[in-house]
Structure 1
Amino acid sequence: MTCKGAVLRTIGLAQPYAETMPLSIEQITLASPGALEVVVKVAGAGLCHSDLSVINGHRGRDVPMVMGHEGAGEVVEIGAAVTDVKVGDHVAFQFSVSCGRCRACLSGRPNICEAAPAARSKGELISGGSRIRDADGNVLRHQAGVSCFAEYSVVHRGSVVVIDKDLPLIEAAVFGCAVMTGVGTVVNGARVSPGERVAIYGVGGVGLSGVMGARVAGAETIVAIDLDDAKLAKAASLGATHCFNATDPELDAKVREATDGGVDHALDFAGALPALKSAYAVTVRGGRITTAGLAPLGAQFAFEQGDLVSNEKSICGCYMGSCVPVRDIPRFVKLYRKGVLPVNELLDGVIGFDEINAGFDRLASGAALRQILAPHGIPG
C-alpha cells in the first residue's frame, strides 16, 4: 500500500518550522501486516509536545522516521493471528505496546514493559523490523510503534484499543496520549483522593487533562501553574480553583497560602527542572511529587536527602499515566460521554498536511493545545 506520510529526516532545525520544514510530506509504502499486526486508516492524529521534543532534538531518536504517536482511525486490514480486532473497528492508538510476558507486564504494569523501549529506540514494531519504506525503497522508522502522521499506519495489535463507533474519531485522537497520560497520572500514578489538595505544573494538553482528572478524583483544591496566562484561563474553566504564573517570584508562597500550608500532591507535566523544584517546595510533609513530564536528555533534579527523609516526602515518575490502555481508555471515554471529562475542550482545530510544520510552531509558542491532523483531508 502507498500513501502520504510526514517524514522527519533532520533533527534540530531552527524555527520557524513553517520555513525550515523539518517534516516532509512524502509518498511512503506500507508492508502488509504481520500475523499480530493491523492496518489502520488514520482519521485524526494529535500534535503533541512529545513529537516536538523529537523534532527539536530534546529526545534522541534516529531518523528518518514517520512521525505521530497519538491518534485514532478505522481498521482496514488485520493479520492472520489477530482475533480480537476486526476490519471496520474504530480504534485509538496507544504509544507503549507491551509484550505481556516480561516482569513488568506480569506484575500488571504494561506501560513499563521491558521489551517496548528496545523496539522504540530502534524505530521498529515490537514484533520486529519496520513496515515502512520511502519512495526509493529505503527503510523509514516508526515513532513509538505508531507513526500516525500518515494516511495509513501498520501497527502491532497491542498498539490499538477498540472504541465505540459513535465517538467522533477526531475527538478520540487525544485519548491515547494527552488524556491517558494526564488523567492517568492523577488517578493511577498519584492516586489523588477526594478532599486532597493538588498542584499541577504545566497545563498544556496533558496538564489540562490532569486538571480534569483531579476534579474527577474529587480534589478539593486544584492549583494550576504555567508560563502562559491563556492556558491558566483554560485551566480555570476546566476546574482549577487557583491559577498562578510560573514567573511569579512569590509562586511557592502563594501556592502554600492557597492550600493551607501546601499540597498533598504536586504533579509535574512541564518536564522542567524549575517546576520540579517548586513542586518539591510546596508539597507538605508526607506528600507526594509525581512527575510525568519529560525533560531534555541529561537534565537532573537534586534535593536534600535529609529533608526527603525527615518530611517523608515521595518523588515518583509516572509513564503513560501508569495506565493499562485496554482498561483505562474505555473508562476515560465513558467519563467523557458523561460530560465529566470534557476533553473536547483541548482541541484547537483540525489541520491538513500542508499546515503540519506551522502547527508545530504554534505548539512550541504555546498558541495551541491540541491540533488534530486529518491525513485524508479536513472533514467538511
Structure 2
Amino acid sequence: MEVLRAIVEDFVAHREPVGSKRIVERHAFGVSAATIRNDMAQLEDEELIVAPHTSSGRIPTDKGYRLFVDQLAERRVMSQVQRRAIEEFLGEAVDLDDVLARTVRLLAQLTNQVALVQYPTFSSARLRHIELVSLTDTRALVVVITDNGRVQQQTIDSGRPLPADRLERLKTLVNRTLAGVGVADAVPLLDGLGGEAAPDDAADAEALALAVGELLGHYRQDRLVLAGSANLARTEDDFRGSIFPVLEALEQQAVLLRLFGEMQADPFGMSVSIGRENDPFGLGETSVLAGAYRSSSGELARVGVLGPTRMDYQSNLAAVRAVARYLTRSFGDDPSER
C-alpha cells in the first residue's frame, strides 16, 4: 500500500511514470530498489499499476486509484486560512443562485477541476407568502416566499392599469389559495384562480397564476450549475483520446444528475467514482468527487468536482467536504439569507 501510495502521489504531482529508483530516492522506505521492484511486480500482477509503454516506470490504473482512495487513512483537512477564505467568499452571496454560482467558481479555483453543484429541489417546501409590488401603472412584481426562506420573483404586465386596490384583491386571493400549501401541490390549485376572482380581475388573476406557476417550476426542477470547464483543456494530456466527449457529457445535465444520484457515500459522507466506473455516463476517463449538503428544508443535494483520473484526491476531497459543510451550515443557520 505504501508503494502504491508513492506511485499515485508521484504520478499525480509530476505526470511521469514512476520507477523503483525514483521511489527509493523520494521516499524513506529504508529498503533497496530490488525490494521496491518486487512490490511493484505484485502491484502490477494485481492490475493496480501498469507500464504505459515498454521499459518505462509504472502509473496507477483505475483499480489502483480506487484502492488508494478507499484506503486513505488520513483525510486531509483545509487550513484555517483556506476555510476562512471559503466562508468570506461564499458569505457575500445575496441569494441561493448567487451562493451556488460562487460555490462552483470557488471550487474550480481551489481544485483546478470542473466544479458542479446541484440545486436543492425544495419539493417539500411550503408557500409562506406571495407579495405583489407595483412597478408602473400596468406592471407589478410577483414575489414568492417559501417556508425555507427561498425567494423567487417575476414581473407581470397587465397591459391596463393595475390600481392598488386590484393588487390587494389579487394578493388576498392568491394567498388564501396557496398559503401553507406544499410546492408540489400548489400548481393544480392555480388553474382555478381566474374563476375565483371578480370578473374585472379575472384576466389579471390568470396572468398572476401563470407567473406563480413558472416560479414554482424552478423548485421542482433538478438542475446543476458548473464552472471550470477550461480546466479540462489544461489537463488534455491526461486523456488518451479527445476531451470533446467529456465536454459533451457536461452539457447533458440529466446524465450528470443521474451519476450524482447513483454514487454511494463512504463513512465520511463523500462519494468518489473513478474511471471505468463512469463508462455508462460517457465519462470513463474521468473521476468525480462529491459531497452532500443539506438544504434548509432538509433535502440533500450534491456538490463536487470532475476531472481526469490523475488528480490530487486528498486535496480535492478536502475542498469538496469543506464547501459541502459550509453550505449545510449556512442554509441551516439562517435560511432567510438564502
- Which range, TM-score by smaller chain? under 0.3
Relative to its length, the structure with more helix (as a share) is 2
TM-score, with structure 1 as normaliser: 0.22
